[in-house]
Amino acid sequence: MHEVLQKFFSPHSFRVAFPDVWFGFQLNLKLMIVSEILVLIFALGIAVIRGLPGRGAAPLRALAIIYTDIFRGTPLILVAFLVGFGLPGLNIRVISTQSLFAYGVISLTLVYTAYVTEVYRAGIESVHPSQRMAARSIGLNYWQSMRYVVIPQAVRRVIPPLLNDFVGLQKDTALVTVIGVAEAAQQAQQFSQNNYNFTSYVDAAVLFILLTIPLARFTDHLIAVRERRERAQAT
Amino acid sequence: MKRLSALVAVATLTVSIAAVAAARTTAPPTMSPGTLTVAFGDSAVNFAAGTVHGSNYVNPKGYEVDLSSAVAKGLGLKPKFVYTPWAKLFAPGHKSFDISFQEATITAARSKTVDFTRSYFNANQGVLLSKTAKTPKSIADLKSMQTCAQTDTTGLTWIQQKLHPSKTPLIYQSTAAAFLAVQVGKCDALILDTPIVASEKKAHPASYGIVGGQIVTHEQYGAVLQKGSALLAPVNAQINKLWKNGTVAKLQKKWFNIDFSKIPVLK
């Protein structure tokens, strides 16, 4: 028992390892913030494309479907290898000369955009068709009805599942360590190997948990607010 | 007098026969009786390279394969080759092999968690350059380059504790990933044991720049056993024998026909 406490929960190692792990964790934070913003923008675009009406838009819809199918089904670690080692290996000017941070962001964005597209799409489809018809009947064109009527309602509904996906994204930033990014998990691993103590992993775990708990509570809060509002409307 | 010495000779003979017989009957304690489970890590050209299927090494070839087979034969055991990842080789606790040959340098820190056999190879650290990197003339030149290393290696320790480069070194989980990073130019200079990088360069000359130098560290490779393993003494006796009877020299010539002294030493 003492052995377990010493190897996993040594207060001394916790303090010694913390600065390095925190240094690495800042990179996780940057990765998640940049990726989250990009994911929010791209996913909304692709979700809208998937909902485009008419035969003319069929090729665009097909492209959107192919993209989401491929990247929702590919493990992030494979995408990270393909992007982090594959793109630099191409020897093409701009594409091959980015920083590892950029390749990390690209991998995370490719995979999570595919997930979040589906979340947005569910939101858009949950808006009752009568809303669109009403919008069109007062003279708004397709884009205007999406912009002012459908999307605002859809986004509000999907905020809780969106935040849920972001918790996943935050944790998965640790996976890009495989392409050599010196983030929290890698810093923790180094400390562990130099000192034969696993407390550094607990350091990293604590940081990730501290980040996700507030997000989880905020999600709960949003769900509660929406429920209250909808009940109020029903009475 | 003559009778006495004859008696002594007979007595010595009997004792030594008894000793041999005892050695034969008390086979060393291995994981599965009659078999020496030998673990290799990521394929390292000329040391141990082969295909990994699950946890089995299919048809490995190299210096460590021949050497471990000779050790097993000396112990009266059949070798079985398995794969084990480098990243957890020195982690304390239960091992899934009897002995592992992974070009592991014997260090005091590592000896806290595992047992090492006596050295079966002596090496320095080599600098493998990417095709686009400029050849460093000194250690000072190396400082400004993008270095990389494999996790938990003496090369990484050297970068962090001696070199203090201006750019954070990139750290990879496997040798394969580190080599790939050099191939695609993400890393200018990989610091890893000279025989490993020199063999890799020789096997795939078009993929890399030159082995641009070596750093004299006088490292000794030892095979890794579980801490407190009863196999340590018998295995050491075998390795001693293989050094003495010239097998080690013969195998090193067979697998590493590279003159490491031709690689310039960086200071």
- 10-residue stretch averages of pLDDT, chain B, 267 residues long: 56 52 60 90 87 85 93 92 87 87 91 92 92 91 93 90 91 90 92 91 91 90 92 92 90 83 84
CA angle A104, A108, A112 (to 5 degrees): 175
β partners of residue B189:
B129, B147
Q: Radius of gyration (Cα) for chain B, nearest Å?
A: 21
pLDDT, residue B21, reads 46
Determine the number of helices (DSSP H) and then strands (DSSP E) in chain B: 8, 12
Cβ of A89 within 8 Å of Cβ of B113? The answer is: no
Residues of chain A with pLDDT under 70: 233-235
CB B85 within 8 A of CB B151: no
Alpha-carbon dihedral angle through residues A193, A195, A197, A198, given to the nearest 10 degrees: -40
Inter-chain residue contact B109 with A194, CB threshold 8 Å:
yes
Q: At CB < 8 Å, which residues of chain A contact B?
A: 7, 84-85, 88-89, 91, 96, 100, 177-180, 182, 186, 189-190, 193-194, 196
Chain A hits for B113, Cβ within 8 Å: 196
Question: Cα distance from B247 to chain A (closest Cα, Å)?
Answer: 34
Cross-strand bridge partners of residue B123 = B219
List the structure tokens of B34.
Answer: 């009659």
Contacts of B152 in chain A (CB under 8 A): 193
Using the Cβ of B158 and the Cβ atoms of chain A, whether some distance falls under 8 Å is answered with: no
Q: Does B183 touch chain A (CB under 8 A)?
A: yes
Is there a contact between A182 and B187 if contact means CB atoms under 8 Å apart?
Answer: no
pLDDT of residue A231: 79
Contact B29, B225 (CB under 8 A): no
How far apart, in Å, are the Cα atoms of B143 and each of A23, B30, B136, B138, B171?
22, 46, 9, 9, 16
Strand order, beta sheet including B35-40: B49-53, B56-61, B78-83, B35-40, B99-100, B224-226, B114-116
Size of the A and B interface in Cβ pairs below 8 Å? 51
pLDDT score, position B27: 64
CA distance B205 to chain A (A): 16
Q: What is the CA radius of gyration of chain A?
A: 22
Which burial class, exposed, middle or buried, applies to A54 when counting CB atoms under 10 A from its CB (0-12, 13-18, 19+)? exposed
Residue B45: name the closest of B207, B239, B241 by CA. B207
| Residue from the list B112, B113, B186 with its beta carbon closest to the beta carbon of A100 | B186
Chain A interface, mutation test: which of B180, B183, B188, B227, most A Cβ atoms within 10 Å?
B180
Joined together, the tokens standing for residue A151 give: 């999307």
Q: Among candidates B168, B175, B177, B208, which has minimal Cα distance to B192? A: B175
- Closest partner residue to B184 among A89, A177, A182, by Cβ? A89
Q: Does this complex have an ipTM over 0.90?
A: no
**In this complex, which of A180, A193, A196 lies closest to B172 when CB atoms are compared?**
A180
**Residues paired with residue B220 on neighbouring β-strands, in sequence order:** B122
Mutate to test the interface with B, among A193, A195, A197, A199 (most CBs of B within 10 A): A193
Under a CB-based contact definition with an 8 Å cutoff, are residues B254 and B156 in contact? no
Give the per-residue pLDDT at B5. 59
Counted residue by residue, chain A has a size of: 235
Cβ pair B87:A189 closer than 8 A: yes
